[in-house]
Amino acid sequence: MAQLAADRRDVDFVLHEQFGIEQLSEHECFADFNAKTIDMIVSEARQLAIKELLPLMGEGDLEGCTFHDGQVKVPGSFHRAYDLFRKGGWIAMCEDTAWGGQGMPATVALAADNYFNAANYPFMLHNILAQGAGKLIERFGTELQKKLFLKNLYSGQWGGSMLLTEPDAGSDVGALTTKALPNGDGTYSITGNKIFISSGETDLVPNIIHPVLARIEGAPPGTAGISLFLVPKIWVNHDGSLGEPNDIICTGIEEKMGIHASPTCSMALGSRDICRGTLLGEENRGMRAMFVMMNRARLHVGMQGFSCASASYLNALAYARRRIQGKSPEASTDADPRVPIIEHPDVRRMLLTMKSFTEGMRSLLFYTGFMEDMARVAGSHGEKALYQGRIDILIPVAKGYVTDRAFEMCSLGVQILGGYGFTRDFPQEQLLRDCKITQIFEGTNGIQAMDLLGRKLGRDQGPFEELLQEAQKTVARAREVSALKGIARALEGNILKLKAVAGHLRKKLQSGDIPWAFAQAHPFLEVTGDTLTAWMLLWRALTAVQKLESASGKKDISFYEGQLRSAGFFMGSVLPVSLGRMEAILLDDRSVADMSDDLFGGR
């Protein structure tokens, strides 16, 4: 069975019918991106993804990456694909055209990314950090740094990475021990070891620019004393020519559960000679700069996980329509014919679960990008702050909730295929393995939950409440439509309950009951994600009802009616469980907070 990637009809529905993305072309910075141009971009992305990237996914997984004497080789077939990808200008889709970017709306770039990642997300890991490193330089770099690095990164001539994690400083970044000593000529000597570095070494590009977090000698302890440096694999002279190799060396690559075609490297800096770097931004402000890259990266990770689910759903759907197994539950005699498994109720339940979640999550991710676009074209500081407030709430949900649910959908995608789903004859098992890391990197989902509760809700509840008020506007419109009254009321009840839970958690934080509050952080992330996904599905259903009035083609009618079914299923099957989770939070059970180490057993 051929592997599938993303549903073009659904992508177009979200872009044009739900969000009306072409409205962005009314603003000068997006004037070139009318509906026709956007459709052309998505078509080109789809063609590259399906024709070039998709056939390499299984092959790359089997071949994997190899390491020898400090050198990493990626799957051989990736070289041609990478050349096509970078020449197409896909690495820096949203970035400034002055530096080689395409300047396109973030929402449109996410649509392209949906195809790319669903087709071959391990391949895409070779590209995302080049864009991320370039964004850091564009935002914080000196004019010389921009001149030396930006175009080469955004064009894909050079690669990028992010050297953050150390053996004893993962999520606890402030514990890092990598040191930076000034050399007196504007450069620094960097010494230390980093681990879990995606694309820290690769043979796809001749040079890699590594942003590195390190502590200048004498700097304050913790995150307050961390600075950010640019450390090229090959030193770059002031005239742009390449100099001598820098002493930043890959010492090995990890053997992993998934993403075999993406090297996860251990890196040593200054272990043999002098490893030189230049300061990026201000001293002791490295964490502030790093979060600029990380917030965007977290949205990308959400798209990576979601894209695995997107592909898994379409594969499962195609298989269920073709696989003949058993008789209809209504069969009464042995003479009744065997049927495709899509006719079995439990398979339909799993497929509808996958359909509703993938549709809702696609809208949620695209909406986050849409808010980034709206913030960019905002006409006032207050308007920009409103959109940024929504983004701040949405990012931990887009990364944490979406990847959690995406992994669950990939598991269902295996289940629907039964024994075949567990074999390498079909892509489902790889999608499940590859998806798992999205719950872990760029901050585990537990950290996303703590970010949502502690940094976003705990400090300022305004943006959270404003986002829920925006959702309630959709509820109000849907309650005026007879076909949607019931599901609109269901979502309204969920929103009101979520507000009460948020208020309860804020009081706990303010009273100093921190352990209990943070024990509820992940359940709170789950119920927030459920509510926002339900909002997206109700919005989709409202749009579909309006479109049904003029729809004539059978495919369009089926598509729009399918939106109503997705929303109805989610409100009737998922939201009641979400309400139960909220009740559990309000019960104030202290088991997690009060559980001492010795009570866990195992000794």
Task: State the catalytic residues.
Answer: 442
Q: What is the Cα–Cα distance from 85 to 79, expressed in whole angstroms?
A: 10
Strand ranges, E, within 140-298 = 159-160, 179-182, 187-198, 208-216, 226-232, 234-236, 242-245, 248-253, 264-269, 276-279
CA 319 to chain centre: 27
What the block records as the tokens of 373 is 């676009």
406: part of which helix (H) or strand (E)?
helix 402-417
Q: Which amino acid is at 426?
A: F
Closest to 400 in 3D by CA, of 514, 527, 260 = 527
Cβ(354)–Cβ(313) below 8 Å: yes
**What span, in angstroms and rounded, lies between the C-alpha atoms of 365 and 395?**
9
Give the span between the Cα atoms of 416 and 354, in whole angstroms.
11
Distance of CA 286 to the CA centre of its chain: 23
Q: At what angle do helices 521-548 and 575-586 cross, to 10 degrees?
A: 150
Torsion sign, CA atoms 248, 439, 312, 5: negative
- For tokens 């709430």, the residue is 393
- Please calculate the CA angle 588-591-596 and round it to the nearest 5 degrees: 140
Give which of 419, 433, 393 is closest to 312, Cα–Cα. Answer: 433
**Nearest 5 degrees, angle CA 463-CA 303-CA 95?**
80
Q: Which residues pair with 189 in a beta bridge?
A: 181, 276
Count the neighbouring beta carbons within 10 Å of the beta carbon of residue 80. 11
- CA dist list (Å): 36 to 24, 41, 97: 13, 9, 20
Separation of alpha carbons 442 and 395, rounded Å: 12
Pick the closest to residue 452 from 442, 441, 463 (CA basis): 463
Residues 48, 90 contacting (CB under 8 angstroms):
yes
Q: Return all residues near 304 (Cβ < 8 A) that are at least 6 apart.
A: 117, 121, 124, 125, 403, 435, 438
Distance CA 420, CA 413 (A): 11
The CA distance from 193 to 432, in Å, is: 31
Indicate left, alpha or beta for 95 from its phi (over 0: left) and psi (-120 to 50: alpha).
beta
Contact indicator for 339, 326 with CB cutoff of 8 Å: yes
Are residues 63 and 99 in contact, defined by beta-carbon separation less than 8 angstroms?
no
The one-letter amino acid at 264: T
Place of tokens 């950090």: 129
Residue 581, SS3?
Answer: helix
